[in-house]
């Protein structure tokens, strides 16, 4: 079945799906699901519907509706998780919405599903990859001076003078349900959070020790490295709880300087989408203390 025909079928039954969605939304918005104050009740409801509905048409319509919610990382997260849905119509709708939202953060998940078994979903996913790669290329990238590397998708010049040169590692986990795609997405989230800290120049991924030392020396920066781990994922009647740890070390030497911990619960949540939202919320809670950890050495880290 072709991707276009899947989407056309969804739009044909759209009135029925949206009608039922409006009815259920009245009930769910008043109850707990996601403890995310930045999202309105309808977005929370659609995210939940996408991950929990037993009807593929409802999940697909939720994915299409989320494609109109811009500027919410949790929406990109939910749609990225929906690329693993059992039904090709849902995967097609999720890829179409990710392309519409034009957030390159979705590239990790899209590339991981670029060989979808369904030809229509595969074409839509590959089209979204090409579109988001064009978006990523059109955005200016700034690598730290004298880094001799253009290999990172996460390097950017900080606002104001840089004080810290920070590398970010890929999170680790021994939790069976946290796969490589989830860990790569978690790293992208950590990169965004670190980049937003004032005075930080982000180091390229895969940078050599020698190149890092050269940048730090020439720019008179304090070098740090941020490693993280997803330590626990617990499902209970209350929801999904995730705990994480973040280790701050020197860079490039990797001598430990601080350990930060964080936890978050998605109330009433279950499944891959809820897990990813909980991981990001737990990481955010730990990273709130990162600026203080960076400043603890008085602006100079041993190298």
pLDDT at 235: 86
Q: How is residue 242 written in tokens?
A: 């995730």
Tokens 């980049």 label which residue? 195
pLDDT at 296: 78
Q: Which pTM value belongs to this model?
A: 0.52
8 Å CB contact between 233 and 177: yes
pLDDT at 9: 47
| Residues of the chain with confidence (pLDDT) below 70 | 1-40, 139-160, 269, 297-303
pLDDT at 265: 85
pLDDT at 297: 58
Q: How many residues does the chain have?
A: 303
Chain centroid offset of residue 299 CA? 29
Residue 3: CB partners within 8 Å, gap ≥ 6?
A: 88, 92, 96, 119, 120, 121, 123, 124
pLDDT at 277: 86
CA distance 201 to 5: 47
Q: How is residue 84 written in tokens?
A: 């693993």
Domains within the chain, CATH numbers bracketed: 3-138 (1.25.10.10), 164-295 (3.40.50.10610)
């Amino acid at each position: 079945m072709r991707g276009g025909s899947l989407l056309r079928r969804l739009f044909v039954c759209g009135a029925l799906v949206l009608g039922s969605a409006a009815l259920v939304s009245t009930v769910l918005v008043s109850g707990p699901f996601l403890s995310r104050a930045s999202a309105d009740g309808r977005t929370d409801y659609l995210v939940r519907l996408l991950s929990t509905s037993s009807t593929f048409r409802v999940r697909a319509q939720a994915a299409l509706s989320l494609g109109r919610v811009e500027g919410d990382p949790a929406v990109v997260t939910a749609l990225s998780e929906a690329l693993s849905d059992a039904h090709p119509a849902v995967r097609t709708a999720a890829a179409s919405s990710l392309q519409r939202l034009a957030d390159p953060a979705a590239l990790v998940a899209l590339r991981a599903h670029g060989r979808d078994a369904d030809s229509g979903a595969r074409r839509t996913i590959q089209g979204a990859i090409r579109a988001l790669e064009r978006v990523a290329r059109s955005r200016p990238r700034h690598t730290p001076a004298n880094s001799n590397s253009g290999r990172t998708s996460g390097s950017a010049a900080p606002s104001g003078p840089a004080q810290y040169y920070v590398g970010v590692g890929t999170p680790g986990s021994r939790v069976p349900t946290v796969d490589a795609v989830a860990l790569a997405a978690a790293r992208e989230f950590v990169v965004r959070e670190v980049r937003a800290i004032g005075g930080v120049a982000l180091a390229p991924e895969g940078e050599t020790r020698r190149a890092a030392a050269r940048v730090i020396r020439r720019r008179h920066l304090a070098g740090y490295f941020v490693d993280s781990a997803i330590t626990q994922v617990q499902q209970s009647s209350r929801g999904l709880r995730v705990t994480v740890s973040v280790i701050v070390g020197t860079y490039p030497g990797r001598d430990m300087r601080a350990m930060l911990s964080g936890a978050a619960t998605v109330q009433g949540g279950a499944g891959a989408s809820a897990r990813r939202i909980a991981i990001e919320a737990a990481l955010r809670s730990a990273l709130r203390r990162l600026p203080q950890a960076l400043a603890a050495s008085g602006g100079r880290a041993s190298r």
